[in-house]
Structure 1
């Protein structure tokens, strides 16, 4: 999957080293007593081409972010350190009103999937302030949201090696507070590009924010398809899979746009996809989504 993700980002590199200059070679015959030495003009060295280097876009990361043990190196050039005082632009999307969001959830039949009367959703919308209206993942799992998501009229899909999508449960500070709730101030997390999930999560929490779950990311994408852009997508590290021994699976869910490479298949080019990235790897084109908090709705 990681190889597919690099191909989706268009991050491939080629370096052509310059040819080595050849020393001048003399073809003059050896001097002899019978014939005087003949001077010859030294051969001109072969032309040398300037190096050609193709690489992806410049890498941006927070100053002082070191490479964690076990993380694989980036394939798209060296990091570009950004001083902390220089702000990195973040995505700002205008969410539909809570009433319009609920109308869309109803039109898609998600209230029925959640076992909730439409009137309950409308009541929740009436009580909601600004934010994203979300149905709890235990009522509407991520796999039920994926077929409903569209990006430029292309249907979403889950990568072939993530058949356990619904087993990725919310971490403690991503747990739904009620069956229907409001996610306040969601952010794609562009400031955390080129940070690993393991690095970014403590920073998100230190800022008083919470990570998004994959179900919340899909709900946001359902309401705001412009959440995803080429080379500017997001990870939802608030969902993790816990193994039988209690340890965390190393994968973290992510949402991005397929290039139709690898196992995705060419027919899925430009389709939104649910995939995963290692918790210890960095990606220059993936932010790490967060929110100001969650408010229960009636």
Structure 2
């Protein structure tokens, strides 16, 4: 595939309603991870359903439900999700400057999440500026995990995605070169054969391209 060549986009069904998503989070115990009462989560979802547009994603703020706690809740083909062994600092990845609309609230909505299949084979550095030009912002890692929790079809072999809204900032203020992504393990190397087919939280270099990774983004957060 040539540089920046578009990938075939696979249409996804709309996400279930916020109230259905809330029940899923309660079933998985995400409210307990976040220190929230199940009733409060359900109340938020009912209110959100009255105002949210179709296809909105219900998410918990990353400060309340970090990626390390959410990743094992992912499942595919009977295998649980995991974080790669060389990403022990996954929870230190924080919103980049381009993410200006993250609500200061434990619960919020992510509008019209998109996997960015057409950006497959772009580098994260290239994709960030393009998303900004389109009036969209990149998904946070935790938002990407929430999306796959509610809609497992969002993660498909050869159609996975990066979540470049989350980056690790070094002590000197510069960004670590790793960019987080969610894809499907092939069960090789340190993943272990027992994890073949499992959802995987890993990372890629900011300047590298991958033909099977798009760039998750949102039209806005409420």
Structure 2 distance, partners of 1:60, 1:91, is 23
The answer on 1:268 being equivalent to 2:188 is no
The Cα of 1:255 is off from its aligned counterpart by: 0.6
- Structure 2 partner of 1:212: 139
TM-align CA RMSD = 1.6
Unaligned runs of 5+ in 1: 1-58, 63-80
Partner of residue 15, structure 1: none
Match of 2:43 in 1: 123
Q: CA deviation at 1:195?
A: 0.5
Structure-2 residue corresponding to 1:176: 102
Structure 2 equivalent of residue 185 of structure 1: 112
Distance 2:152 2:107 in 1: 21
**Separation in 1 of the partners of 2:22 and 2:149?**
12
What's the TM-score, normalizing by structure 1?
A: 0.69
* Corresponding pairs, count: 215
Aligned residue number for residue 34 of structure 1 = none
Counterpart check, 1:160 vs 2:80:
no
User: Alignment partner of 1:104: what SS?
Assistant: helix
Is 1:230 paired with 2:150?
A: no
Deviates more, 1:158-167 or 1:89-98: 89-98
Question: Shift of residue 88 of structure 1?
Answer: 4.9
Please list the CA deviations of residues 233-253 of structure 1 after superposition, one character each: whole Å capped at 9, or x if unmatched: 100000000011111000000
Q: Deviations over 1:57-102 (max 9, x none)?
A: xx2554xxxxxxxxxxxxxxxxxx56xxxx9525423211111100
Q: Bigger radius of gyration, 1 or 2?
A: 1
Residue 91 and residue 238 in structure 1: after superposition, are their counterparts in 2 closer, same or farther (change >3 A)? Answer: farther
State the partner residue of 1:32: none
Q: Report which structure shows greater RCO (CA 8 Å, sep ≥6).
A: 2
Query: Residues 286 and 255 (structure 1 numbering): CA distance in 2 closer, same or farther, change over 3 Å?
Result: same
Distance 2:11 2:137 in 1: 17
Is contact 2:111–2:219 with CA below 8 Å preserved after alignment? yes
Summarize deviations over 1:167-186 as a string: whole Å, max 9, x none.
10111343630210000000
Tell me, in whole angstroms, the C-alpha distance in 1 between the residues paired with 2:123 and 2:84.
21
TM-score, with normalisation over the residues of structure 2? 0.92
Structure 2 unaligned runs (5+)?
Answer: none
- Cα deviation for residue 149 of structure 1 reads 0.7
